[in-house]
Structure 1
């Protein structure tokens, strides 16, 4: 049924739970698994204008930052048999980037994590809720258990 699964993760320890769920589904359906991590745009945190004001050099290399994130996400994905060429890091809105990546890959299932809190928005979380309502494919929200 599913041939192309996109797994959206943050870089917390709970990501392993989401990757495990995606791996199980990938094994059952013989699906290809890709992983995406979306980070806030680093330029919003390192504006060079502050360097001029403070007298410091806040030069920021977005490509180096992206590569370090790709390496970190690939390291998380590797134990689940996901190759680094199936790992991507994007900057911006998590919902928009995940939905766009899924469309570009021809994804038929998005797997992401969600925390079980109260209320519909908190039940799914704003990211899971946004992806669910904007994706053109199925979405599986894996309830992650926070490490104690």
Structure 2
């Protein structure tokens, strides 16, 4: 049924749980799996001069987190015999980056983890999973 599954990861425990589900679905369906990590734009405040070391540290930390997440997913995929590609998207808001990546790779399913926040937290912080579900043009599996 599914030929290409896009797994959104941020290196969190929720994303790790979603990775297990995505790998299993890819194994069952014989699907290609692409894991995507989106790096939010640098939180520039516009006060004073930009500190290039702050930007470099931000990118380095994001890339390190992405590498750890991709390595974990690669181990799962290898054990399950699933073909995995990884994609690092920089300077994009997370939901938009995930949706664009799904379109670019031709995914027919998007898998995202949910942190299970309360209604108040969702109202204050927003929810990437909610934005993806609201804006996606293809099926989305939210794993809690």
Same fold flag (TM > 0.5): yes
The number of residue pairs the alignment matches comes to 135
Deviation of the 1:12 alpha carbon: 1.8
Aligned-partner SS, 2:49: helix
For the aligned residue pairs, the C-alpha RMSD in angstroms reads: 3.3
State the partner residue of 1:146: none
1:11 shift after superposition: 1.2
Deviation at 1:68, TM superposition (A): 3.5
| Structure 2 residue aligned with 1:27 | 27
**SS of alignment partner, residue 5 of structure 1:** strand
Within-5 A mapping of 1:119-130 = 119=119, 122=122, 126-130=127-131
* Contact 1:69/1:89 (8 A) holds in 2: no
Structure 1 unmatched ranges of 5 or more? 52-56, 144-148
Match of 1:58 in 2: 53
Structure 2: segments with no counterpart, 5+ residues: none
- Stretches of 4+ moved more than 4 A in 1? 59-62, 82-85
SS in structure 2 at match of 1:14? helix
CA shift digits 1:21-65 (9 cap, x unpaired): 0011111111110001112223638x99244xxxxx727448x73
Instruction: Tell which structure's C-alpha radius of gyration is larger.
Output: 1
